[in-house]
Amino acid sequence: MSLIGCDPGSNEVKYPDTKQEELLETTFGKEINDPYRWLEDFTSSEVKAWVEEQNEIADKFLNNPTQRKIKEDLEDIWETSDISIPFKREDKTFYFYDDGKKQQSVFMMQDCDSCEARILLDPNNFSEDGTISLGGVSVSPNGKYLAFSISDGGSDWRTWKVLDIDHNQILEDLIEWSKFSYAVWEQDSSGFYYQKYNQTTVALSDLNKSPKLYFHKLGTKQNQDKLVYEDTTNPDLSWSINVPEEGSYRFLSIGEGTDERNFLSISFDDSLNFVPLINEFVATYNFLGGTKDKAWFFSNLDAPNGRIFLLDLSSDKPIWRDLIPESKFPISSASVVGDKLILNYLVDTLSEVKIFDLEGNFIADLPFEGKGTLSGFGGSLDNKISYFEFSNFISPQTIYELNLETLSFETYWKTEIKGLEVGEYRTSLDFYNSKDGTQIPIHLSYSAETKLTKNTPILLYGYGGFNISILPYFSKTFYMWIKSGGVLAVANLRGGSEYGDRWHKEGMLLNKQNVFDDFAYAAKYLHSKEIGSPDTTTSLGRSNGGLLVAATMLQYPDLFRVAIPQVGVLDMLRFHKFTIGWAWESDYGEPDNEQDFLNLLSYSPYHNISSSICYPTTLITTSSRDDRVVPAHSYKFAARLQEAQQCSNPILLRVESRAGHGAGTSKEKQIDEIADIFGYALNIIRGN
């Protein structure tokens, strides 16, 4: 029996008596034992009672002096005024504002540049506890209407309503059963397009397939909405529509799951009769903006780092023109604003912005000296200004107003965190070799007063999937760890887009093991430099990052003292059977395909727990209303890990109520969660 990483001095835990059911299935010649499948019925009274017992046990460990001190600090830190990147409609300016005192940010508007800002919509009035949140906003082109969606208790389901801005009145328009959808306004502001799924009686777990694209005309009932597009033969497809600022054409983008490749169709007039432009899944085509006879697209066709196309619509037959070719560095984002194309490139995870004219001619580099992440640069073709934001792991957000004619910029907003002096903190970028020799970027951030020794608490964070880059950005969560005397280590694992499509492909499907090795070798690298040790390292990740943490702690249990998989995808053989899980097959593979099944089985956390290993102290977190990665993943993993654990290192399950996958979580619940996980981890590491 291996007792790797065992902590015999920690408190013994008496776990709930979790029943096991005899359930054996043979798939592709492999016998699969699933004794805790009954926990998949996560809304049943039996499972709810089991969750209550788990929370009671977790509370005994999480409630400690370190947790209480962190909570006090967080409440202090949170009382910070902050805004989102502004955007304009006509003469009006819109943004979210958070004064740090309310549960949710409020949506603000200025009627003119010199006008005083006022609250347009306050989601804190939606519920007393702040758990009904604002899901999304979309302002009409004429600036007179606001379509906004509401999320109840963190669910991905959205209910859309409409506010008459000038009269500050919510209209009778009501859209229900919308999910993973924007409200895309027509040019004349007469209504908007949205995606809708069929109504279900089991909203938190039923599969989400066969969406329909509708147009809602203001002042009408939802049952009168015009069906724009559906495909009854392909339930896995989903839709989005692009409306240019000028011109009678419309683009329909057709996607499958989380695969970023898409079909592209065009309707040349308001009939919305779409004809194919791109009719195979070979590349990504993202609409950036359009005039009466021109449209600009980002694409990765034959260009893993991305390129810009112009679609010429001036003749009877659309003509594609290669406008800005692929560069040495990947394009992180692209926008058409004013008379400019603004491309944000990633150079070893750091932003460098280049500005072009609409014919693709290079104008200038944005003369910005800070090292970190630049974002924003949105707007309309007629805008004279745009806004962008800068931050990194130790520098809070600063928003700048960019003059599109002179390319000069000035500070519009600077976030001030109480007690934070940026000069008192350090952040650096380094590289390490993964198991196969691939160089992986890693960012280290800490207080200048923190001594980097093998006793220093380390928080190792990663994601590694779905073409998502984890770039330097300021987070109150991360700052709390740094402020508490720890080192934040963020590894830019394969599976993301830090180095374009190549980086993504090297960490997806049959290459997924690379991601876990990258994460483990980040810990090895730090320990080899005597920056922390296996006794002081905590691993943290959410969603796909929760899978990362769980798989890595099982494969490399001797590298971590504490593991915190949050809202993780943990049963890789059944993830496709709930809500939108099937859509992740583009990154994970298809469990019904033998080759993919065997690969998934090789690392699926739920199926790779050994009864002869002492695993790190583990805090598994989820939410009872998470209808994206359903909580059954965490429930089953916790039950099996508790049953198998071969030492006294606790395996705890923390389940939040009235919260979902993360978006829209109230201030109070965010603070409670951060205090619990960091307080517990630091308490374990420091032996308190």
Query: For the chain, percent helix, then strand, then coil, each to nearest 5?
Result: 20, 35, 45
The 3-class SS string of 499-552 reads CHHHHHHCCCHHHCHHHHHHHHHHHHHHHHCCCCCCCCEEEEEECHHHHHHHHH
Query: Please, what is the Cα angle at 616 between 477 and 674, to 5 degrees?
Result: 15
Nearest to 622 by CA among 579, 583, 654, 587: 654
Is 443 in the active site? no
Q: Are 80 and 416 in contact (CB under 8 A)?
A: yes
**Residue 534 phi, psi (nearest 5):** -60, -25
Q: Are 571 and 546 in contact (CB under 8 A)?
A: no
H or E element that contains 120: strand 118-121
Q: What is the largest CA-CA distance in the chain?
A: 77
Per annotation, catalytic residue among 395, 539, 543, 634: 543
Q: Are 377 and 392 in contact (CB under 8 A)?
A: no
Q: How far apart are the first and last CA of the chain?
A: 28
Alpha-carbon radius of gyration of the chain: 25
Query: Please, what is the Cα angle at 2 between 36 and 570, to 5 degrees?
Result: 30
8-state DSSP, 416: -
Q: Are 51 and 652 in contact (CB under 8 A)?
A: no
Residue with token string 């970028």:
429
Is 543 in the active site? yes
Packed helices 594-603 and 513-528: angle between N→C axes, nearest 10 degrees: 30
H or E element that contains 637: helix 632-644
DSSP assignment of 313-326: -SSSS-EEEEEE--
Query: Please, what is the Cα angle at 51 between 126 and 178, to 5 degrees?
Result: 40
Per annotation, catalytic residue among 527, 607, 633, 661: 661
8-state DSSP, 503: H
Residues with catalytic function: 543, 661
